[in-house]
Structure formats: C-alpha cells, structure tokens
Chain A
Amino acid sequence: MNIGLALIHWAIVLSMPILLVGLVNRTKSWWVGRKGPRLFQSAYDLWRLLGKRPVVSTTASPLFRAGAYVVLICGLLAASMIPLLGQFAPLQFSHDFVVVAYTLGLARIILMISAMDVGSSFEGMGAAREASFATFAEPALFLLIGTASAATGMTSFADLIGHLHNTPHYAIIVAPLTIALLILLQAEAARIPVDDPMTHLELTMIHEVMILDHSGPELAAMQYAAALKMTLYAGLIAALINPFNPLADPVGGVLVSLALMLTVAVVVGCIESLSARLPMRWVPAYLLIASVAALGSMLVIGLGANGV
C-alpha cells in the first residue's frame, strides 16, 4: 500500500474543502470588484461555530443532532474511496464506486430527515427539492461509471478513472464526461445555477434551507460536509483530466491534480458570477444534460468498439 500517497490524499481531502470554498468566494468577489474574504475564512467560521453551544428546536427528535455527524462521517468515508489523485485511492476494491454513491446517498437521506425533523415547512420544501433533484443526478453518475466501465473493463473507481486515459476514445469522451461531472458538482454541492448558497430567501434555497435550524458544532459539521462533497467532485474532475499517473509519477500527479482542483473552483466561481440561479422547474432539465452527456459518451464507446 502506498502510504505516502494515502497521506497526501487525506491531507488534500481535509484541507481542500476550506480552500475551495475560499477560492470560489474570492473569484466571485473579484468579478464584482471587491477584495473578498480571506482564503481560509471558512476555517475561522467553522472554528467559531465549534465553540458555540447549539440551540435545538423543541419539536426536534433525538435524530436531529446526530444527523449532522452522520452526514460528515459518510462524506469522509466516501472521500477515502474517491480517486482524487488519479489512479489511486486509499481504500480501493472492486465496485467501490457503488459504495461511494450509496454512502453519499445515506448522507443525503439523513440530511433530509434532519430537515424534516423540526417541522418547518421551508425545511420540508428544501428536503423535497433535494430528494427530487437527487433522482435526476444519481443516474447520471452511474451512466458515467458505466461508460468508463465499458471502455476500460476495470471494476474499481480508481482503475476506471485511471485507465480511461489509455483507451482509444479518451480524447472524444473526456469533454462530455467533464461537463457531466461539473453539473453533478453544481447539483450535489448546492452551487449556482442549481442552488444559490448566498441567497437570503428561504423559498429559493435547497441546501441552506435544510440546515436552517442547525447551529453550533452541528452546523459546522453540515457546512464542512457540504464543502467536502464539492471537493470530492472537483477531485473526480481533476482525476478525469489529469494526464499523470500518481503511481508512476507521484510529484507530477499530485501537483497537476491540485492545480486542476483549484481551477475547478475558479470555474465554479466564474459560472456563479456570470449566471443566475435557474428557475426550480428547469433544474431537472439541467441535470438531464449530465445524463445526456454521459449517454453520448456511452454511444461513442459502443460505436468505437464496432470500428465506426
């Protein structure tokens, strides 16, 4: 087992959520001509929240406070199987991607239950939106994995992404797959145009409205888990593009991966600055673009195998 790479992987997983959120916010500030918050501002925010005593609704059940920690643990477990650096993940076995998707699914259902727990209509609305958009996002991820699986014949997440670089049609399918992952990132990490983290109107929120009643350390756990999810998807995009194999060339692989993840954050920030949130009823159509992109690359693989 490659202990050095595993340590680097964990260092990235733990630090990137702070840095990426900071970078997205800096990018958005730059577009509107402000200096913006410090890069590590969210670390200070989290630290401040950790010291606070939580306030819990009298309506809430005991599940409410536990939920935040379950969400965080699920995120960390999924992070150990995501090949952020390319063809490597600390925990790697056949069909680990199913575990990744379903662990994140557990985090989602617990998040929704915590939201429903306080009885507020707005939080129920957020949970309903999260659940409904997830049904459109989830198939896209599996179509993407199905493409990679058919192209490489491999079974573990890291191998799928890593070996994809050596397949004959990589150059054609990399663009649609990246777009699909970017859309998934925006949906899963609650970014514009699917969701607006900065909005101040409960009616228009998805993720933020679900954690309205969380406070103190629980809010910190929820926010860190959300940023972690963005890191995971940014890492997947980086691994998909990164030409270096971290097992053969660790220095190049890690550096390029880092640079790509930061680029993804800048891109996300630019999209947020230049576009508005979509109307809620258009979001499923936007998510379908991801599925269609993945289907397109499936078609390329299929036709390519037939020698077209």
Chain B
Amino acid sequence: MNQLILAVLILMLGAGLCLLPIRNATRTGIGLVSQAVATLVAWSVVIPVLLGAPDITGEMPWAYPIGDLHFRLDALGAFFLSWSLPMTFLGGVYAVGYMDKYFSTPRHLGVHFALLNMISVSFLLVYTGEHTVTFLFGWEIAALAAWLLVIWDYPNEKVRFAGFNYLVSTHIGLIFLVAAVMILYTRTHSWFLDDFGDWMSHNPGTLRNTVFLLLVTSFGLKSAFFPFHSWLPRAHAAAPAHVSALMSGVIHKAGLYALVRFILLLGKPDEWMGWFLIVFSVISALVGGLYTVGQRDLKRLLGYSSTENVGIAGIGFGIGCLGLTWDSPGLVALGFGGGLLHVLNHAFFKCQLFYAAGCVYQVKHVVDLERLGGLFKLMPITALCFVVGGIAISALPPFNGFASEFMIYSGLFTGESIGVWAKLTLGLVAAALAFVGAVSALSITRAFGVIFLGNSRDSSLPEGREASRWMLVPMGIHAVGTIVLGVVPVLGLAMVAGPTALLMRAMPNGVATVNLQSTMETLTRIGLISGALVLSIGLVIWWRLKSPKTPQPMLNATWGCGYGAPTPRMQYTGASFSTDFAAHFKNIMVLIKRKKAPAGYFPDDSYVITDCVDSVERRLYSVISHGDETATDLSRKMQEDDPRLAFSAGLAALVVIAALVLLAEGVLP
C-alpha cells in the first residue's frame, strides 16, 4: 500500500512542481519524469497482485463525517491500473510532440502536464478506493481534469462548447451514481463498498434492481454507451489528439471498471440483468458502428467507434452475468474474460488510431476526410500504424481485437447446456456482432482509403511529412502492443485471468482454474493461427515482391476509365463511399445535405456538403431550445380555464403520490 501512496504523492508533487519553472521544457520534463517514476512505483505492487499475489489493503484515519478511509488493491483494480498508468505516461510523451508549437509561446504547458498527472491520481483513487467518498472523489477528479484537458484550445468557441457539453453530461452521470450510493447508504449505514456488496447479495429485489439501473445509467454516461454518448464525438473532435486518445482508450474505461466492480459486489445477478446488459450493449455497438460510417471528421469517427467498442465489451459482461446467474463457469470465464480483454485491446488500438489522427492533424492541420488523400507515401509509419489499428478495431486476425472478440463469440456460441431459446437469442446477438464487425470494416476502409491512399485532394494544405519522434514512438509502442497481443493473445488472457477468477470466487474451488485453462488453450490456437498468418504473409510477400530474383513491375498511370481525372477532387470521396450503405439506415443516421446546384450555361460557384449529424443530440437540443412538439400540441389543445382538466390533473397527481407512498412502504426507508 505504501508504494501506492508514494505514487500518489509523487504525482501530486510533480503536478505542483511543473507549474513553477519558467521554461516550458522544464515544466514538461518534471511532469513526464514524475509520471514515469510514479508508474514504476505503482507497478511494483500492481504487477504482483495482478499475477496472483494476495490483495493489498490499507487504512487511513480521517476526520469525522468521512471516517477511516479504506483502500484495497485486488486483481480487478490491478488489471486496470497496470495499463492505465503507463498509457497515460505515453500520452504525455506524445503531447511533447503534439504541443511542439506551444513550447516557445507564453502558453503554460505545465498546467497541461499537471492535469495529466491528476488523471493518473484519479486512477489510483478509483481503482483502489474501497470507501465511497474516495471513489467519488477520484471519479470527479478524472471528470474535471479531462474537461480542462479538452478545452486546451479554449479561445475557440466550438471547443468551449464541446467541453461544457462534456462537463454537463459527466455530472448528470454523477447524479445517478450519487443517487445509487444514497440508496445503498440508507440501507447499510456504511460508506464501504464491501458492505454495499454484502447487503446487495442478501437482498435481491426492487431496490437492488433500482440501484442496478441507476448505476448502469451512470456508468453508461461515463463510458458513452448509446444513448448517453452524445457528448463524446464533440469532445473527441475538440480535444488535442492525445487527450482524445486517453479519454477514449483509458479514462472512460473507469465506467466499465465500475460496472464490473459492481457486478462483483452484487453477488448472484438476476437473469434479467444479464439480458438487459446484452441488449443495452448490442444497441450501443450497432448504433455506434453505424454512426462511424457517416462521419467526415476522423476524430469524430473514432469517437463513435468508442461507443461501438464499449458495447462489444458490454456484451461480454452481459454473457458473464448470465453465466453467474446460471452457475455456468465457462460462460463467466469467456464473458468477463473476453470483455476485459477487449477493454485492454481497445485501449491499445484506439490510442494508436487517435495518435495517427493526431499525426495527420499535426502536419495537415485538418482531419476532414474529404480534404486529405495520398498520405501513405508522405507518412508511411503513421499509415501503417493506422492500418494495423484499423484491422484490429474491425476485430480481424491477426491483431488483438480478434482475440477478444473470439472469446466473446465463444461465449455466444457456448457448448454449455443452456436452454434452446437462450442459445438462439445468443445466436442473434452473434449475428448483430458480425454486422457490427462488417460495418466497422467498412468505415475503417473508408477512412484509411480516403485519407492515406490515392492522391491528395486539396493542394492548399501544407505538404505532408512524418510527424516528430515524440509522436511516432508512443504510437509505435501501441502498435507493437496491438500486434503482440494479437499473435500471443495468451499474454492478454494472463492479465485478465486474475480479475475473471475473482468473479468466479463464489463457485467451487478449482472451477476457475479449469475453465481459464481451457480458454487459454483455445487462445493459444488462435495465437498460433495468427502467427502462422503473419509469418506466411511475410514469407510470400518477401518471395514475390522483395526477393532479388523477381522482376520489378512496370510503372504506369491508373487504368484510365473513370480516372484520367482533370482534378484529384474527382477521386472517390468518403461521402460517396458511405452513401449507398447509409441510405438503408436513414432513420438512424440523419444525413444533412446542403448544396448549391450549378446554374446557367457557365456556372461559377456550386457545392454539395453532406453532414452526418447525431440524431440523439439533435433531438436533445431541439427539445431544449424549442420544446417537444407533441407536448406543445397537447398543451395547445388544453383550455387553460377548463376546470375539469385542472381537477383531473390534480386527481392524477394525488393518485401518483399515494401510489408512491404505498409502494414505497417497506421499500424506501
């Protein structure tokens, strides 16, 4: 425990110190060094716990209203800490390159790095907090620090708006969380999570169900599940690339951590909870996936794909819940193991993709698909990292996304003896997941093809070149992680084995080991296949393309039909790539087209702009600004001075209040 306290102190000290020096380089240096040292110090206890050492607990006396603070580092917290801390550090390293142009300006970079330190502090508090107050405190530090990081470019009004939007959404989430905590506190008169767990596992019923729904809403807002995602694409588009990467890949994983922690405390969940989680997550994955198709801003696209990927992880957790309900250890291992592995894998490839987007922004100053093109030749490392991340995010072999989705599919097509209808429903979920995978392949091909392949579309943009090493190295490390976890998925499974076994602690001894062992064997096979795939592709490509004996190809222009283009703007665009597909889903994806048609014999100015707007957000703002039309219509029909209406409304209100009082008897204190 002392190491963790030391890590927190180092981080806070670093945060304080990096505000003091005069030069931006010194401030940055202090921030990064304190992050690195704190990460190593924390790792010295986190890694042993993750690999099976006993939990570490600590107590700290505190003043009256809060009481003693309890901390406990178990395998679940250790799993999240083990990658969150170093990835935040890598984000800081990337920031050095990304913020390059600010080093010689009066902007105070120390604040930025201090905030990154505070993000790491919040991880340490949330992932070890056993006391509700420290948990909520860490939760709030993360929210505020992320908000301040998002609005780095605050003179821009759009950025301020995106930040404000995020701030409001995250606090709405907090309200739900606090409501759940209040309910639990009135029942247990305790602040400790394990007391909450004790009470919940012995008292299934309406109140536990309410708490479940409140918490899923809150964690859904934190992790941007549909329909609580509308803050996310805006925030991701507005923030600096490394902040988007950290928010999407690392910070908002706290919502999923809290979900699993809560399921762990819950004891045996009811069956509806598992199905509810699955349906909620499937919808999130479907809608998030569909929205990636229409975006023209690369960072918005990646933001929506976060909604999709938390949905995929959520499907895993849902299967795990069903496994807990049905006492089926195989399902628990595959569901929670697959879900947690997907969380880890997503952190790797999503940060990598955002870093690639940041590299593009750094040299081109835009991330608009329709203005880019042909970047592969100018920035091959970024392009390769993007394509590796893209294949991984579409869950295709041989990279890591496939390993975790394979586990989730194995859970969906389980060989365990469960009811036929349950099996068929899970088959439907698998079909939805397959659809999501294909959609994600579509949108990543579109993004990669339009940005990196073909020719440059806009000659007014600056010439492209590879970004600085400060940015390439963190991206490269993530890419290596993506590849290694794909070819040796057993490594990832070894990391999630601890937390998964924790979820099976109620089951008889040895069950966890047996089931994790069989999963391990399957994943070894997947790793072998991925390895064979990589190896054979490498060999054949060397033999056909690189070997000195093979004749070199002739170079010529692209096949003339449809290409002898007078302008590179005539290449296939992102909008044209998605329009056929999007037409089938126009009720979900709202495509807004603004155009000025060419007129007259010698038309001079004409344009067409297609934008995919978020229907949830559109609806939200339309209700906030204009009110709801149905409600307006209804109120228009009502005569204000009609006494019958007033009386009946009063009566209805009385009945509702009476019902609440009667129903709450014995439910609420």
Which residue on chain B has the smallest CB distance to residue A305?
B420
Q: Is the CB of A119 within 8 A of B581?
A: no
Q: How many angstroms between the C-alpha atoms of A56 and B525 in the bound complex?
A: 37
Interface size on B, residues (CB 8 A): 85
Q: Which of B377, B522, B562 contacts A95 (CB 8 A)?
A: B522
Q: Are A141 and B397 closer than 8 Å at their CB atoms?
A: no
**Which residues does chain A contribute within 8 Å of B433, judged by CB atoms?**
142
Q: Fill in one digit per residue for A203-237: 1 if any B CB lies within 8 Å of its CB, else 0.
A: 00000000011001100000000000000000000
The yes or no answer to B219 lying at the interface (CB within 8 A) is no
Cross-chain contact A116 with B453 (CB below 8 angstroms): yes
Bound CA span A118–B448, Å: 13
In the complex with contacts A54-B553, A95-B406, A105-B581 CB distance below 8 A? no
Decide yes or no whether B624 CB sits under 8 A from chain A: no
Which chain B residues numbered 450 to 489 have a C-beta less than 8 Å away from chain A?
450, 452-455
Q: Which of B393-434 contact A (CB under 8 A)?
A: 394-398, 402, 405-406, 409-410, 413-415, 417, 420-421, 423-424, 426-428, 430-434
Q: By the criterion CB–CB under 8 Å, are B558 and A61 in contact? A: no
A121 to B570, CA, bound (A): 7
Using CB atoms, name the residue of chain A closest to B334: A95
Among B409, B541, B580, contact of A98 (Cβ-Cβ < 8 Å): B409
Contact: B561 with A202, CB < 8 Å?
yes
Taking a contact as CB atoms under 8 Å apart, the answer to whether B445 and A54 are in contact is no
Residues of A close to B389: CB separation below 8 A: none
Name A94-143 residues within 8 Å CB distance of B: 94-95, 97-99, 101-103, 105-106, 108-109, 112-113, 116-125, 127-129, 131-132, 134-135, 137-143
Chain A's interface: helix, strand, loop or mixed, by majority? helix
Given known A116-B453, A128-B572, contact A212–B438 (CB-CB < 8 A): no
Instruction: Provide the bound-state CA to CA distance between A213 and B444, in Å.
Output: 22
A73: CB under 8 A from chain B?
Answer: yes
- When distances are taken between beta carbons in the complex, the residues of chain A under 8 Å from B570 are 121
Q: A106 with B413: in contact, given A116-B572, A119-B558, A134-B442 (CB under 8 Å)?
A: no
A93 at the binding interface (Cβ < 8 Å): yes
How far in angstroms is the closest Cβ of chain A from B556? 5
Q: Which residue of B lies closest to A98 (CB)?
A: B409
Interface membership of B563, Cβ < 8 A: yes
B417 adjacent to A153 (CB under 8 Å): yes
What is the interface residue range for chain A against chain B? 35 or more
Which residues of the other chain, B, contact A94 by a CB distance below 8 angstroms? Answer: 410, 415, 522
Whether A57 is near chain B, meaning CB under 8 Å from some CB there, is: yes
Q: Among A144-152, A246-254, A260-268, A270-278, which stretch is in contact with chain B?
A: A144-152
Q: Is B339 an interface position by the 8 A CB rule?
A: no
* B383 close to A145 (CB less than 8 A): no
Q: Does A298 contact B (CB under 8 A)?
A: yes
A134 in complex: contacting residue of B438, B522, B526, CB < 8 Å:
B438
- Cβ B427 vs Cβ A122 within 8 A: no
Set of chain B residues within 8 Å of A103, measured between Cβ atoms: 397, 533
Q: Is the CB of A121 within 8 A of B572?
A: yes
Q: Are A135 and B439 interface neighbours, CB within 8 A?
A: yes
Complex contacts, A32 vs chain B, CB 8 Å: none
Interface check A41, CB cutoff 8 A:
no
Could you give, for residues 62-97 of chain B, a 1 whenever the CB lies within 8 Å of some chain A CB and a 0 otherwise? 000000000000000000000000000000000000
A301 touches B396 (CB 8 A): no
Interchain CB contact under 8 A, B571 and A119: yes
Q: A1-9, A21-29, A63-71, A189-197: which lies at the B interface?
A: A63-71
Q: Interface 1/0s, chain B 540-567, versus A by CB < 8 A?
A: 1100110000010111111101110100
- The residue in chain B whose Cβ has the minimal distance to the Cβ of A53 is B551
Question: What residues of B have a CB within 8 angstroms of the CB of A306 in the complex?
Answer: 420
Kindly state whether residue B137 has any CB partner on chain A within 8 Å: no
For A107, give the chain B residue with the smallest CB separation.
Answer: B396
Residues of A within 8 A of B430 (CB): 142, 145-146
Contacting B383 at CB < 8 Å: which of A61, A99, A284?
Answer: A61
Asked if B239 is at the interface (CB within 8 A of a chain A CB), the reply is: no
Say yes or no: B413 contacts A146, CB within 8 Å: yes
Nearest-neighbor residue (CB-CB) of B412 within chain A: A146
Contact, CB under 8 Å: A118 / B441: no
Partner of B558 from the list A59, A62, A143 (CB cut-off 8 Å) is: A59
Question: A241 at the A/B interface (Cβ < 8 Å)?
Answer: no
Task: Using CB atoms, name the residue of chain B closest to A109.
Answer: B441
Given the contacts A113-B453, A139-B435, A150 and B427 also touching, CB distance less than 8 Å: yes
Q: A54-B553, A113-B449 are in contact. Are A298 and B424 (CB under 8 A)?
A: yes
Q: How far, in angstroms, from A212 to B529 measured CA to CA in the complex?
A: 31
The verdict on A240 contacting chain B, using a C-beta distance below 8 Å, is: no
- CB contacts (< 8 Å) of A202 on chain B: these are 561-562
Which one, B415, B442, B454, B568, contacts A135 given CB within 8 A? B442
In the docked arrangement, what's the CA distance between A284 and B585, Å? 12
Closest B residue by C-beta to A101: B434
Sample of 7 further A-B pairs with CB below 8 A, known A103-B397, A106-B397, A113-B453: A63-B387, A66-B545, A95-B413, A112-B441, A125-B576, A142-B430, A149-B413
Q: List the 3 closest A-B pairs by CB distance, nearest first.
A: A146-B427, A124-B572, A116-B449
26 residue pairs bridging A and B, Cβ less than 8 Å apart: A53-B551, A58-B557, A61-B453, A62-B380, A63-B387, A70-B537, A70-B541, A74-B533, A95-B413, A97-B413, A98-B413, A99-B397, A99-B526, A105-B394, A105-B396, A109-B390, A119-B455, A121-B571, A122-B562, A123-B572, A135-B438, A140-B431, A142-B427, A145-B430, A149-B413, A298-B424
Q: List residues of B whose CB falls within 8 A of some A CB.
A: 373-374, 376-377, 380, 383, 387, 390-391, 394-398, 402, 405-406, 409-410, 413-415, 417, 420-421, 423-424, 426-428, 430-435, 437-439, 441-442, 444-446, 448-450, 452-455, 522, 525-526, 529, 532-533, 536-537, 540-541, 544-545, 551, 553-559, 561-563, 565, 568, 570-572, 576-578, 580-581, 584
